[in-house]
Amino acid sequence: MKLEVLTLNNFRQFVGEQTLSFSQDKENNITVIHGENGSGKTALLNSLYWIFYDDIYLPDANKIVNEKAIAESQVGDEIKVEGVLKFSHDDKIYTIQRKKFFKKKDKNDLSGELISEDFNLEYIDNQGKSIERNNPQKAIKQILPEDISKLFFFHGEYINELSKENQQDEIQKDIKIIMGLEILERAIRHLETVSKRFEKKLRDYGDEELRNIIDEKQKKENELGDLKNELETIKNNKKGIEEEISAIDEKLKKLEGAKDAQEKRERYEERLSKIKESIVTVEDRLKKEFSERGYYMHLSPVIKGAKQILDRKKEKGELPTHVKKQFVKSLLDKKECVCGRSLVEGDEAYQKVQVWMEKAGLEGLDEAAFELKSRINEFQNNKDGFFEEVSNLLKEKNKLLDEKNKVKDKIDEISVELADKEEENIKKLEERRKRLREEIDRCNQRIGVKKKDIEDLEDKIKELSKKEEKLKVKEKKALLAQKRFKACNKAKEYIEKLFDKFATQVRNEVEEKVGDLHSEFLHKAYWAEITDDYKLKIYKKIGDQKQPVGMSTGERQIASLAFIGGLAEIAKERYEEKKDAIYFKGGIYPIIMDSPFGYLDVVHKKRIAEGMPKLAEQLVVLVTSSQWKGEVEQVMTTKAGKIYELNYNNPNEDPTDYEYTIIKERGK
């Protein structure tokens, strides 16, 4: 999708008909729109939501009609509010048009009464003929799903939220939507429902044994549903408690007598969460060591035994063997000894040579013994390396656990200090906080138990399902239902595997792209990673170890920008490679950013401005005049294909004047 021309007519503060052409230049792919605070940047961003989905995310969302236009109309007049967007998509030029007509009810009416509306979407076909889409809203949801529009058309505050700790659900959702993984997820869900329908038929036509299995499974599934609901309730409860603790923390920070202690506690808590993360990293490395080299522990006695046998043989002089069996056999076959004496079967000389047959070694035995010895030595070295690494990791873990306990003690001390304060309000807040913390510990315990119960129950259900699929049925209709039921389950398993495969692939790709963009934007040796549970994490290297980094607001903004840019890039690559794929299609999307420089310092503003053209094929940047002036203007003027200014008319106290904005193109 590429935006071409936007025309607004009396929409919010944009008075009369106003047009804005987006840059189509491949090099200078940015359209910059700058204006004072309140001049309508966010309204402009919202005009796109309105045109596409009839949604507005602004205060007074129902007030669409321009104040000046309605004020200057006569009572009973109709005022047209219109948004028209021309864009290209999949080699077609589309025009989307949303119109609403408002009637002025009385002299003081500045909102108007909605009397009619119209929405249509048309495109130009290969012969240049204009064709209107029958179901425009459905077609728009196919071209630009609303979830995707929120990801790529965003306000600075949204991206700042994106890299916060608790945003992994949002990130996971975005990755799934953009990469088409959602279609697989939906298919899994719908196959579950259809499978139930076939199962019902199977129960209806099956015999008693089958019915009993299905009933038992149903019972377990109900129990599982209850358990999952309970788990969800506990998690929500925990989230609520955490929010309450955060609110208490904010209150404490505002109280003079508690401010310092609370800030100190926050620093300790941040430290504690980093220690916990490091413990998880060490535990993961331990798990990896055991899964890759853990067998050394079990093989050790066997290897030791083999070494003892080899050593004994060496001591006895049996190894290496000096005379080979094949050589003795050739003497006996030739009937002639090495000394030239004839060997006649049965005589003394023959028997003496024959005795060597038992003592001599097989061809290759020495070589094998030598090989075995060197392997044993190699094993010994690897085994020592494994034990050394495990011992180091355990030491590291213990050190971290000690540190964790110390930090916890410090946090407890602060809690006691605050609870002992003379000020009643501080005392009360801290006591409440302590009770809430205890409640969180209880929640965590309950979450652990429920998760285990869910796992057990799921195993039991899986077992029953297998029984159900394999049980021999006689009735023809039951057999057919059973086959369909089994096909549903197999297809579901197949799609689940496909989903896991793609999800990992996508995560790795996103991580790589985000990492590249992030290191380009950020003036520090940090890098970004998407963890297994889709958390966006920033790390730095200290010695050989990677350490998670706590991010400032500006750094979070950079990480999020890199994330969105990374997604846009992958979606585009995927789209160009796999246009005909059913799933995992990707797409080309413009990025529209409102106030992306909000929390950045001078150095990073400049870096982001420089790197911006790489974020997407087409970019629209809305900035305040103060964010625009200086470094941003310097860098972006050379990168922008089009620059617009929002000229805002401020009515101040003049009752005869109204607020409105004029979009004005500015030369580069």
Partner 1 sequence: MSNTEDLSLEVDIEDVVNAVLEEEDKLLHLEKPLGINDNIEKRIKELIN
Q: Does 575 bind partner 1 (CB under 8 A)?
A: no
Q: Does 136 bind partner 1 (CB under 8 A)?
A: no
Q: Which stretch binds partner 1 (CB under 8 A): 119-127, 140-148, 444-452, 527-535?
A: 140-148
Q: Which stretch binds partner 1 (CB under 8 A): 91-99, 136-144, 355-363, 369-377?
A: 136-144
Cβ atoms 393, 289 nearer than 8 A: yes
Q: Does 183 bind partner 1 (CB under 8 A)?
A: yes
As measured in angstroms, the least distance from the Cβ of 176 to partner 1 is 12
Separation in Å, CA 264 to CA 243, 248, 268, 417: 19, 15, 6, 12
As measured in angstroms, the least distance from the Cβ of 175 to partner 1 is 16
Q: How many residues bind partner 1 (CB under 8 A)?
A: 35
Q: Which stretch binds partner 1 (CB under 8 A): 134-142, 320-328, 357-365, 368-376?
A: 134-142
Q: Output phi, psi for 468, to 5 deg.
A: -60, -40
Q: Does 286 bind partner 1 (CB under 8 A)?
A: no
* Beta-sheet pairing, 113-124 with 130-132: antiparallel
Q: Does 151 bind partner 1 (CB under 8 A)?
A: no
DSSP label at 598?
T
Q: Which stretch binds partner 1 (CB under 8 A): 73-81, 377-385, 386-394, 467-475?
A: 467-475
Three-class HEC string of 503-540: HHHHHHHHHHHHHHHHHHHCCCCEEEEECCCCCEEEEE
Q: Output phi, psi for 623, to 5 deg.
A: -135, 155
CA 151 – CA 158 distance, rounded (Å): 9
Among candidates 86, 157, 155, 160, which has minimal Cα distance to 622?
Answer: 155
Exposure letters 75-107 (e unless 16+ CB within 10 A, then b): eeeebebbbbbbbbeeeebbbbbbebbbbbeee
Residues 494 to 513 in contact with partner 1, rule: CB under 8 A: 494-495, 498
Q: Does 476 bind partner 1 (CB under 8 A)?
A: no
Among candidates 433, 416, 412, which has minimal Cα distance to 251?
Answer: 433
As measured in angstroms, the least distance from the Cβ of 196 to partner 1 is 9
69 CA to centre of own chain:
46
Q: Does 578 bind partner 1 (CB under 8 A)?
A: no
Q: Does 322 bind partner 1 (CB under 8 A)?
A: no
Q: Does 477 bind partner 1 (CB under 8 A)?
A: no
> Which of 44, 488, 522, 559 is close enough to bind partner 1 by CB under 8 A?
488
Give 185: exposed, middle or buried? Use CB within 10 Å, 0-12, 13-18, 19+.
middle
Q: Does 38 bind partner 1 (CB under 8 A)?
A: no
Q: Output phi, psi for 94, to 5 deg.
A: -110, 150
As measured in angstroms, the least distance from the Cβ of 472 to partner 1 is 4
* Beta-sheet pairing, 640-649 with 619-624: unpaired
Q: Does 214 bind partner 1 (CB under 8 A)?
A: no
Q: Does 470 bind partner 1 (CB under 8 A)?
A: yes
Q: Which stretch binds partner 1 (CB under 8 A): 192-200, 228-236, 292-300, 541-549?
A: 192-200
> Which of 3, 45, 81, 187 is close enough to bind partner 1 by CB under 8 A?
187
For the record, the structure tokens of 633 come out as: 């203007």
Rg, Å, the chain Cα set:
37
Please identify, using beta-carbon distances, which residue of 316 and 470 lies nearer to partner 1.
470
> Which of 2, 373, 421, 486 is close enough to bind partner 1 by CB under 8 A?
486
- Contact residues toward partner 1 (CB under 8 A) are 138, 141-142, 145, 182-184, 186-187, 190-191, 193-194, 197-198, 467, 469-472, 479-480, 482-484, 486-488, 490-491, 494-495, 498, 582-583
